[in-house]
Amino acid sequence: MTELGIGVLGFGALFALMILRTPVAFAMLLTGFFGIWMIDGLRRAGAVLVTETYSAVANYSLIVVPMFILLGNIASESGFSRGLYDAAHAWVGRLRGGLAAASVIGCAAFSAVSGSSVATAVTIGKVALPEMKRLGYGAGLSTGAVAAGGTLGFLIPPSTGFVIYAILTEESIGRLFMAGILPGLLMMALFIGAIWVVTWRDPSQGPRGEAVPLAERFRLLARAFPLIAVIVVSIGGIYVGAFTPVEASGIGAAVIVIIAFATRALPLDRFRHAVMDTVRTSAMLYMIVIGANVLNPFLALTGIPDGLGRGLAALGLGPFATLMVILLSYVVLGMFLDGLAMLVITIPIYFPVIVALGYDPIWFGVVAVIAIEMGMITPPVGLNVFVVRNVAQDVSLATVFRGVMPFLVAMILCLALIIAIPGIALIVPNSMFQ
């Protein structure tokens, strides 16, 4: 069997393992190891397994993952994330659909400390969904707003998606973090616009809340100040060049722990829970990186990335049409795979093609992450939809999927704007890193 044939067989085995619910990290690890064994022998396969495992775990840049996850977990366990939501609710809750908009704003703010789409949806969903139900919001709008808002955790820095993309492509984590800021804010604004359109068409979907006195608004904003300060220090510190993303993650985690204990907002048992959850999540992400590092040499040996590049070039589609084909493949894959799985499987294949076409790799990182985010709310997988459905168990899955449709349109519009105006993603990193 030729190397290409083994590669095709390997991809079939990879998808079969994931269909059988094998964790994506181990599916990639097994496919890469046995694929290299078939092509280059057991000795080479063993050497790749050992060296790539060590290099992945010893990667200094990957420290940002557990540090920012710890930051998000401490913020959630100590109730600081509730403070963010309450402050947003106080300022915009009196508007039609304001509570849903507050949920999106809360998701955006919490994304700036968690880096995780699922963690953002769960944390804000537990706070926002009962409140929206109490005030008579439509089940579709309320669950859709939280499910879509949660996807901002994969785009707004410190995004784990950008960290994995940077490791796979050897691009700068700092540049990618900065590239996600304006697109993240743009998507938040478009989500709020989608809420306005839904409530304009049917005001019963998002009734107005009670007006909150100005003094009370500032009091609630002050309660959210600890987490806002951590966001400003960590992300702002990267922007002004005061420290690297790795240093920012450590400083942010340390500051939030100190504040949580100093204000007695974090009992010891909840601190232990936050630490153990951080260990579990970080171990999963590290295993995904290890699996990707073993799978990638196998793909290189099969020649699939080069073959795909030549095949796309032979079609004569041109750079833009080729980009559309790649983005369409993300939409299709999003129906079956979760975001991280899509990222680690496709980037080694698509990245050489994108670079050869002359696209900016940082810009493509933003575009790919947004396309993958869309997969988090599209049927039949829609990971964020299932997460929110688990929080709002009295709402049917079909209702949640219907609720996310306006937000999916907003994401498509955001993606179109960034493709048409690349400066939305590149102006901040280009102004920093000359």
pLDDT tens, position by position, 2-26: 787 888 888 888 888 877 878 878 8
Number of domains making up the chain: 1
Tell me if 138 sits within 8 A of 206, measured CB to CB.
yes
- Cα separation, 25 vs 91, in Å, equals 43
Asked whether residue 24 is assigned to any structural domain, the reply reads no
Where residue 115 falls (left for φ over 0; alpha for ψ -120 to 50; beta otherwise) is left
Angle at 151 between CA 289 and CA 92, to 5 degrees: 150
Residues 6+ apart with CB under 8 A from 121: 107, 146, 147, 149, 150, 151, 153, 384, 387, 388, 391
Query: Closest Cα partner for 408 from 149, 167, 24, 201?
Result: 149
Outline where 41-138 has alpha helix (H): 42-57, 64-77, 80-92, 98-114, 117-134
Sign of torsion over alpha carbons 342, 10, 167, 419: negative
Asked whether residue 259 is assigned to any structural domain, the reply reads yes
Outline where 209-338 has alpha helix (H): 214-223, 225-239, 245-262, 268-302, 304-315, 318-333
- Cα separation, 278 vs 273, in Å, equals 9
302-338: b (≥16 Cβ within 10 Å) or e: bebbeebbeebeeeeeeeeebbeebbeebeebbeebb
Burial (CB < 10 A; 0-12, 13-18, 19+), residue 158, is: buried
Instruction: Check residue 62 and report its DSSP letter.
Output: G
Which residue numbers in the chain have pLDDT < 70? 1, 309, 312-313, 316, 336, 338, 381, 433-434
Cα radius of gyration (the chain): 22
For position 433, what pLDDT does the model report? 62
Task: Check whether the bond before 319 is cis (ω within 30° of 0).
Answer: no
Asked whether residue 291 is assigned to any structural domain, the reply reads no
Instruction: Check residue 73 and report its DSSP letter.
Output: H
For position 363, what pLDDT does the model report? 95
Asked whether residue 245 is assigned to any structural domain, the reply reads yes
In the block, residue with structure tokens 């809340």: 209
Asked whether residue 289 is assigned to any structural domain, the reply reads no
Asked whether residue 23 is assigned to any structural domain, the reply reads no
Burial (CB < 10 A; 0-12, 13-18, 19+), residue 290, is: buried
Asked whether residue 13 is assigned to any structural domain, the reply reads no
For position 264, what pLDDT does the model report? 84
Asked whether residue 425 is assigned to any structural domain, the reply reads yes
Tell me if 371 sits within 8 A of 330, measured CB to CB.
yes
Q: Residue 225: which domain range?
A: 62-282+304-432
Tell me if 206 sits within 8 A of 100, measured CB to CB.
yes
- Cα separation, 396 vs 216, in Å, equals 36
What letter represents residue 65's amino acid? V
What is the length of the chain? Answer: 434
For position 197, what pLDDT does the model report? 93
For position 188, what pLDDT does the model report? 93
Burial (CB < 10 A; 0-12, 13-18, 19+), residue 12, is: exposed
For position 343, what pLDDT does the model report? 84
Phi, psi of 66 (to 5 degrees): -65, -30
Residues 6+ apart with CB under 8 A from 377: 147, 148, 151, 384, 385, 404, 407, 408, 411
For position 417, what pLDDT does the model report? 96
For position 12, what pLDDT does the model report? 85
Tell me if 385 sits within 8 A of 404, measured CB to CB.
yes
